[in-house]
Structure 1
């Protein structure tokens, strides 16, 4: 589906009908492939396509109901996407949201089909100019294909970037929720396929999204074409240092607040989804503690795994390292309480080769008068852990990577995709995994995050966004070469092609520009820190 760019480049002008036939045949083939896969994979891909189709219909409905006003996607939020008017001062009321909900339902019930087709790039440029879609024109400047895949319905047309389906009958449910002057477009999820659960308002997550917007305003960058312009005009160094400075200021504020309460709370837990940059965040936080007179010691939850033979197995019969039962909570909690009581504990290390935890009683340690303990691990916010230690003893920090960029006004950049791209590089450089292996296991990683991390993100004291506005042009240099190596499995090749197309929208930026203490160095290498 996402290899169209290369396919079109090889075709003659006279072959348009066969190109359109190929587009529709590919859609049917992928639908048949879906039916052969596991239930989880079918649901995940099905949801992804219908979510993007609903976004397409919301944009169309907004333009019709609001008499040519434009709606803009902001970010994913809970089980949906958060939208607001292009003019952020324009507040949407509940009556307008109800009209939009009815209009989208009319579209779904309408006999007129959504058409998936292609259009000549030069013609699409004129359509985008007419609609004053500046940022879409910026994407077309880098998407150098002669024919572009598009989705059409009534008065609305847009290019196809993400997985999407024209089949309205696959849309089983949706809801629009007025929210902070905008709209949350809610979808079915893996855990709530019939949308029976009420809207999950997550104030702390939304604060992180608002902070992301503030950072985007300070950087004066919101879309890919604006970032490309900074690279092209050689203004990227200032942008880079401001982006890194925003991280530094937030780290300083967090360390300052924690230090002010010391020693009433002497434990800091750091949790977040895969490839959020938790390790580098912890190291940089330690530096700020040192500036304020505290020495930080670190402890990894991974070193307190139960022996592999005692771990539960998942539905595939494999040991589940991500379930909290994989952590020896009884031993861990006892030792943390011993530390808080001024006692010594042995160093501990989990031997992944032998699958056992090992104590070194020759290396005992305790917390000194001016020492604070940092614990990193996916269960750092889980009440089953923090409650047993005592929440009054713990500062909890949630770390994620919410990019300040979107592709254009109607297409977001997936936080999950950004973390996946980070992980592909890290797995290849430091774990010896090829990109095909990383792509193959990413679904299970996401499943573990949805079970073990995301449900507890509102229990945090601080949130930290590790994304850097300039990172994708750097990442692109590494990942595009790695994704080109993905062979064999059709679904993995399609996913690799989708990511390669997305990365092709960015101008490249040399990794030499990345500072040695940047969180990005955790993934691309040559960090000033040891890991």
Structure 2
């Protein structure tokens, strides 16, 4: 069997594991190889090459390798919890990401895990890592998978897979602990070298390395405001009895999805109203800034916030950064020649700052409009001057 690897033709026996091939080329990569791309498709290292083709490697510092590290670390943590608790039904829920790790809670209990208990779990994870235990995937008949998950107390997975139309599901096995993951996994526990457990709120953090430094634990900032919002969102899910996809499926099947949407919208509108009240209580505030990635809902949120601010007697003025793009000929380009509209350098920051400073100082400015068809800013004589009750959004 002939494989093209790093622009070289290499021969291997048919049925050779990708892990074996990766070991032969590991010296060419600073970070450990986590996955391979075989004939254009990502494959896990415990899979086998069975015909000629092209092969390239993904390390732990790649996006796919980093996610595989996260999934494998989660499986090791869940296995360690059950080993330490000496129970198959102890229920740990991975709630959401925080910094470089995950926030987890113990379900069916209001107690915050003791530091000593977390130390035992971390020590057990270290033992699993040192034992280099293989992680294997098996295409499992659906009924058998449901029995496995029910025995392990994973009732949310049982609920989820009852909606699955296929007759089988891929189940991963780590030394007798079974779980399902939507994504690729590492071949054994030795790949997860760095991790740490620490108490947080009512649960604990599973701290993991960042993608760019897969062998180093970086101190995670508290990000208190983001964390509190995630906790609030989790509380909303519990309050509406929709904590996972299976619950959402139940809601749709029972015909209650419209009610769910209305309740969610009401909760969100109430939250925006609280933000508007917080702004109103600080009369010296003249500018509110909303940040987020592309298509995250910034403009929609800004419009709803403006409506709420008006109910408090404030006069909001919506300022869109889209109107402060540089003209097309001055826009930075990507290496492939396409325009890069995501960089801050695509914005005329100097012009924007000058306009905002003038407004805040009581002056008058002309608000531009960016013509995306022509690729240039246009002025229509729209003048703006803010008064005592005005606020820029």
Partner residue of 2:13?
A: none
* Contact 2:105/2:204 (<8 A) preserved: yes
Counterpart Cα distance in 2 of 1:55 and 1:105: 13
3-state DSSP of counterpart to 2:272: helix
Count of residue pairs brought into register by the alignment: 349
Q: CA deviation at 1:191?
A: 3.9
Structure with the higher fraction of residues in strand conformation: 2
Which residues in structure 2 correspond to 1:271-420 (within 5 Å)?
271-314=291-334, 318-360=338-380, 362-374=381-393
* Contact 1:72/1:84 (<8 A) preserved: yes
- Report the TM-score, using the length of structure 2 for normalisation: 0.80
Partner residue of 1:78?
A: 99
Change in Cα spacing, 1:353 to 1:250, as seen in structure 2 (3 Å) is: same
Q: CA deviation at 1:139?
A: 1.3
3-state DSSP of counterpart to 1:143: coil
Q: CA deviation at 1:176?
A: 2.2
Partner residue of 1:481?
A: none
2:164 equivalent to 1:165: no
- Report the TM-score, using the length of structure 1 for normalisation: 0.60
* Contact 1:35/1:42 (<8 A) preserved: no
Counterpart Cα distance in 2 of 1:328 and 1:38: 38
Q: CA deviation at 1:222?
A: 1.0
Aligned-residue CA RMSD (Å): 2.9
3-state DSSP of counterpart to 2:391: strand
Counterpart Cα distance in 2 of 1:129 and 1:337: 62
Partner residue of 2:76?
A: 57
Q: CA deviation at 1:82?
A: 0.9
Deviation per CA, 1:12-58, whole angstroms, max 9, x where unpaired? xxxxxxxxx9xxxxx7532599974898x961110011110111111
2:201 equivalent to 1:184: no
Counterpart Cα distance in 1 of 2:383 and 2:170: 63
- Structure 1: stretches of 5+ with no match in the other structure: 1-20, 22-26, 375-531
Counterpart Cα distance in 1 of 2:224 and 2:132: 40
* Contact 1:81/1:184 (<8 A) preserved: yes
Q: CA deviation at 1:304?
A: 1.5
* Contact 2:84/2:120 (<8 A) preserved: yes
Partner residue of 1:98?
A: 119
Greater relative contact order structure (CA < 8 Å, 6+ sep): 1
* Contact 1:93/1:181 (<8 A) preserved: no
Please identify the structure whose Cα radius of gyration is greater: 2
Partner residue of 1:265?
A: 285
Q: CA deviation at 1:118?
A: 1.8
3-state DSSP of counterpart to 1:271: coil
Partner residue of 2:31?
A: none
